[in-house]
Structure 1
Amino acid sequence: MSDIETTTVSEDGYACTSQVGEFDLQIDATDETGPNPNAALVATYASCFIPAFRVGGSQRGEEELGKLQIDASAELDDDDDLAAISFDLHVEAELDDDQVAEIVERAEGICHVHAALKDELQADVNVHPGAF
């Protein structure tokens, strides 16, 4: 048996509904009834990176990071494939450059989406401590 199993159905057109455990996830290549697959991937990546950043912070003695927010952006190539991803990660806690570098490095090692992407597509992460 697989560790993860999903079922994705498209009744008509370009919209799909994926059953992921108990959840339905709507993805639409035309952005009409849900985000397109590239946008969903970028959002999933950010949603994986934030808890990885929290764990990385905890492992480095930074237990109270406060509010975290990623403003993600992505560039597409001429074929509408993802070519680059950037994260602006806003952190409520005040962190110095060394703390940021250590936590980002650890978060990159923890984030499963980061590990799954080819190296040239992994996010360029810019952290903004004391942001809130």
Structure 2
Amino acid sequence: MPDIETTTTNDETFTAENHLGEYALDIDAQGRTAPSPNEVLVADYASCFTFAFRAGAMRNDYDDLGQIQTEAEANLDDEDDLTDVSFTMLVEAELSDDEIDDLLDNAEDICHVHAALRQDLHADVTVESGAF
């Protein structure tokens, strides 16, 4: 039995309805009526990395980071393939440079999307603490 099952339905156009358990997610290849596959991938990567940053913090006794807002940017080549991804993470808690480095290392080790992407597409991440 697989750990993850999804069903994607496409009816002639370049939109798809995806069912992930009880959730539905529409994706439009051209980004006209729903997010594009690349937009979904970047949002998924940013979400996963944010969760991993917080999980790594909790594992290492940084229990109260407060709010984290991750702003993601990505660029595409002429064939609409992702060429680079960057995150700016706005963290409510005040963190030293050493703490930020430790938390980034932990997040890179924990984030499943980070592990799944080719290395040259790993996000370039900046963290700004005391942001709120």
2:12 is equivalent to residue 12 of structure 1: yes
Q: 2 CA distance for matches of 1:110 and 1:21?
A: 24
2:51 is equivalent to residue 51 of structure 1: yes
Q: 1 CA distance for matches of 2:34 and 2:131?
A: 30
Superposition TM-score, scaled by structure 2 size:
0.97
Kindly provide the CA deviation profile for residues 7-37 of structure 1, in whole angstroms up to 9, marking residues without a partner as x. 1001231110110111001100121221000
Gaps of 5+ in 1: none
Contact between 1:9 and 1:16, CA under 8 Å: does it hold in 2? yes
Superposition TM-score, scaled by structure 1 size:
0.97
- 2:77 corresponding residue in structure 1: 77
Q: 1 CA distance for matches of 2:68 and 2:119?
A: 24
Q: 2 CA distance for matches of 1:76 and 1:33?
A: 20
With 34-43 and 11-20 compared, the bigger mean Cα shift is at 11-20
Q: 2 CA distance for matches of 1:77 and 1:33?
A: 22
Q: 2 CA distance for matches of 1:99 and 1:60?
A: 10
Using the aligned pairs only, state the percent identity: 51
RMSD over aligned Cα, in angstroms?
0.8
The list of structure 1 runs, each at least 4 consecutive aligned residues, that deviate by more than 4 angstroms after superposition, is none
Q: Structure 2 counterpart of 1:17, which letter?
A: E
Gaps of 5+ in 2: none
Aligned length: 132
- 1:36 corresponding residue in structure 2: 36
- 2:119 corresponding residue in structure 1: 119
Q: 2 CA distance for matches of 1:3 and 1:62?
A: 31
Q: Structure 2 counterpart of 1:61, which letter?
A: D
Q: 1 CA distance for matches of 2:65 and 2:103?
A: 11
